[in-house]
Chains A and B, each alone.
Chain A
Amino acid sequence: MDYSIRICGEAGQGIQTVGDTLSRVFARNGYHVFTHQDYESRIRGGHNFYQVRIADRPLTAACDRIDILIAFDVESMEKDALFVAEQGQIIYDSTVLKQKPDGRKFLDIPFTSLAIEHGGSRIMANTVATGAILGLLGMDMDILFKIISDTFQKKGDDVIKANVAAAAAGYDFAVKGCASCSFSAAARAEQKMLIAGIDAIGVGALASGCKFYAAYPMTPSTGIMNYLAGKSQEFGIIVEQAEDEIAAINMALGASFGGVRAMTASSGGGFALMVEGLSLAAMTETPIVIGLGQRPGPATGFPTRTEQAELQFALYTAHGEFPRIIFAPGDPEQALYLTNKAFDLSEKYQVPAFVIFDQYLADTQWTYAGLDLNRLVYTDYRLRADSLSGLSEYKRHAYTETGVSPLAVPGQSRHIVVTDSDEHDEDGHLVEDAETRKKMVEKRLLRKMPLIQKEIAPPMLYGAADAEIVLVGWGSTYGVIKEAVDELSGKQSVAMLHFSEIFPFPGTDGFDFLGLLRNAKKTICIEQNAMGQFARLVRAETGFEFSAAINRYDGRPFTVENLLGELHGHIG
């Protein structure tokens, strides 16, 4: 069983509400759920969809096929209906759409009049539609009723009752109207958690002890700010909306210098403004975690769509030479753990660490049996009152074997903490001499780099190590490549190599992934950009050339069908 439901229409029609509610109902019913969204950069109108895929086995990607389409506008009937499967259903309200197409696939449900009749208001049309979907699937209504009563708790019993009645009306109408539908979805044992990539980054930050977050809103990073702001009271975290991204990163550095874990995030355009601050973090060796939510550029590009074209920007941007850490999680689970690892390594080595993602990962929701917070690490690497007052002298930038100087919190002892964006001596005071400069470059860069590199995990292999065809990806293409491997196995000898810890580029000590690539007959690097930025990185770091590349750069994510189609061109 694997159904895909697309809710489609104009912004402002409540697509999000229906999608969110349905996906929660499915996850609580124990189904594996995968959701993704497609929307335009506008608040009302346009053509948008929210797609929910449910199955009795794990799902990791979006698909093009639609089993049930809710069409809220005429455009959906014209465009999206083409993707509806042979046995699929399209539900719509002919009084709103002013048309009544013929055919087995179409089911006209009067969302609005049922809402008025049973709920007492046309606003409940969405609730009717939600109920109708559950009716088509023959699913139990209890969980939906529970969600309705939780959602409208504050609005009182009457509102809850009205919505329950509206949902039930939609349900009954669908059951009667679609007597011959073949869908069925009985409840399953274990309820699952449902989490989006962006929230997972937020949870990761909070769980890592992040106490200060400064940012300026920019899609698709804004969700981190919203998540953390919602938790600020409970967990004592300050979320500051800065006047611009330049201020955001500098505020985060100020807070980090002051002794707390700090983060900022933006997308390419905003991160462009942060670049001098990135360099400042490096020179002053101030820990910071930077979230970089990629979206199609250049300039403002496609504000609400997806692309993986800021890897080079994250890798090479900022002046001077310094170490940086770059993680690109492939799913919300990795987003949680890698955000945690970013905080840990950033403070341990006093270098900037990135978590790069994209609109697709930010918005997609995945289900898990649970995520284990015990796997998170938390070590406070800073010298605070006790450890500091015992020291006879303190130099913020002292030379050490590892290049890592003791990181003190100012104001906690009589020692003073001095740092500078100019080249400085061990005390942190600005200098001009050649000898100190050389030693500082060695300390900051040459000593730390190899140590940081040892912390980087090798790529993940999915499939056999001696596969003839190896599909390579990084970041958010993880899920779709994985499903493609599942589809092709049996017919082909195929495996996936997925990179989520990207820089410093992983070594081959533990796992000879380069050998694996060299032994394969065909290696295909799959990226959501036009230039093959990751393939370039691999070539630069290892000299290895992939035998082929698949690049998508129209602002839309790879779907299972579309990737398989592309792959057939390469491997038959």
Chain B
Amino acid sequence: MATLDDYKGQTPAWCPGCGNFSILRTFKEALVELGLEPHQFTIVSGIGQAAKFPHYLKCNTFNGLHGRSLPVATGLRLANHEMLVFAVAGDGDCYGEGGNHLMHAMRKNVNVKLFVHDNQVYGLTKGQASPTTHEGTVTKNMPFGVFSEQLNPMALAVALDCSFVARSFSGDPEHLRSIVREAVAHKGFCLVDILQPCVSFNKLNTHEWYRQRVYHIEPEYDPADRVKAFERSLEWGDRIPIGVIYRNSRLSLEERIPMIHERPLVKQSHDIAKLCDILKEFY
């Protein structure tokens, strides 16, 4: 059985007090609880503070380009659907640069578990607005304040019938741990939006700000009801729900592909003999 020590990666280069630390610790704890070993899963990430996550943990890692973690994760899952695949992204990475990929990963329903560290700001490039930044927020390059409407990832995901839609908070490790476990158990694409304070650049959405607003979705709530889920996903402001907002049991992309029902692509051998007749159709 793996212990926390087995997951020790490089020393994080995040700012002291950053919400990412708690996410990292909690994620490792969840992996230990799940009995997973470092070689049994892969984390795919893009670029940003959040995207450095897999280096700070020990596991198979493909740390690719800004916004592109989901297509890489999709290709990896299709090549080897026995591999558990996580994608870790920032809100800029995933809702901004990679927005198109997110939309289509949800439609395809590839069985990848996406964790978005949503600090509502671009951290690594020093504090520009992200798609989830509140309208009106003034930044260095937006002296008149953000003009665009704040993106609502939960509502977007419900609208696209995403298979698993959840929100958690870096300041509530127990909650986050349970969401990680639920996401791993879920068969289909999972979007987990994690509220994460950025102590260096986001002076509005601080730890305190979240703590006053975040509440646990009540146990009686039925995440299978899409209309209710849509209602819940619109809550933001004085009260912000965390928990599983929506869940369905659509077939995953991998389940729909007949060629890999028996074994994953990576375990299929290349049989040249089988190709003998392939040129026949050209006669």
Contacts and interface: CB of A to CB of B under 8 A. Distances in A.
Interface string A21-58: 00000011000000000000000000000000000000
A237 B55 CA distance: 32
A193 B258 contact: no
A373 B60 CA distance: 37
Given A238-B78, A238-B259, A243-B104, A250 B65 contact: yes
Contact of B64 (A284, A413, A417): A284
Contacts of A428: 61
A314 interface: no
A253 B70 CA distance: 12
B79 interface: yes
Nearest to B73: A254
A45 B189 CA distance: 44
A69 to B, nearest CB: 27
B39 interface: yes
Given A373-B275, A430-B55, A250 B39 contact: no
B39 A258 contact: no
A117 to B, nearest CB: 33
Given A236-B259, A250-B68, A430-B52, A257 B274 contact: no
Interface string B147-159: 0000000000000
A461 interface: no
Nearest to A237: B259
Interface in A517-572: none
B182 interface: no
B268 A411 contact: no
A410 B79 CA distance: 11
B63 A430 contact: yes
B72 A419 contact: no
A52 B175 CA distance: 70
Nearest to A384: B266
Contacts of B3: none
Interface in B97-112: 100-101, 103-104
A247 B39 contact: no
B71 A242 contact: yes
Interface stretch (B40-48, B113-121, B160-168, B206-214): B40-48
A257 B76 CA distance: 7
B247 interface: no
A28 B283 contact: yes
Range, interface on chain B = 35 or more
A90 B205 CA distance: 78
B278 interface: yes
A373 to B, nearest CB: 6
Given A212-B78, A247-B71, A247-B104, A236 B268 contact: yes
A381 interface: no
A211 B76 CA distance: 12
A250 B10 CA distance: 26
B255 interface: no
| Most chain B beta-carbon neighbours within 10 Å: one of A199, A203, A258, A276 | A258
B64 A429 contact: no
Nearest to B9: A429
Contacts of A195: 279, 282
Nearest to B68: A250
B82 interface: yes
A254 B39 CA distance: 17
A214 B110 CA distance: 15
A380 B270 contact: yes
Contact of B61 (A371, A373, A376, A418): A418
A194 interface: yes
A521 to B, nearest CB: 42
B265 A370 contact: no
A510 B257 CA distance: 48
Contacts of A409: 266
B270 to A, nearest CB: 4
Given A207-B272, A421-B65, A250 B75 contact: yes
Contact of A206 (B39, B72, B278): B278
A127 to B, nearest CB: 22
B62 interface: yes
Nearest to B43: A418
Contacts of A416: 38-39, 58-61
A254 B266 contact: no
A258 B76 contact: yes
B71 A246 contact: yes
Interface string A250-286: 1111111111101000000000000011001000100
Nearest to B74: A251
B274 A411 contact: no
Given A243-B100, A254-B71, A27 B60 contact: no
B274 A260 contact: no
A428 B276 CA distance: 40
A212 B278 contact: no
A244 interface: yes
A419 B63 contact: yes
B38 A378 contact: no
A415 interface: yes
B101 A247 contact: yes
Nearest to A264: B75
B259 A206 contact: no
B265 A211 contact: yes
Contacts of A242: 71, 104
B101 A243 contact: yes
B72 A254 contact: yes
B24 interface: no
B275 A411 contact: no
A259 B79 contact: yes
A262 B72 CA distance: 12
Interface string A282-313: 00100000000000000000000000000000
B79 A421 contact: no
B44 A254 contact: yes
Interface in A488-510: none
19 contacts: A192-B283, A206-B275, A211-B270, A212-B79, A236-B260, A236-B268, A243-B100, A243-B103, A247-B104, A250-B64, A253-B64, A254-B74, A258-B266, A259-B266, A260-B79, A280-B65, A284-B64, A417-B60, A421-B65
Q: Which 9 A-B pairs have the closest CB atoms?
A: A254-B75, A258-B79, A209-B270, A250-B71, A251-B75, A254-B72, A255-B75, A247-B71, A243-B104
Given A244-B100, A380-B270, A429-B10, 6 more contacts: A211-B79, A258-B76, A370-B279, A410-B39, A416-B58, A418-B61
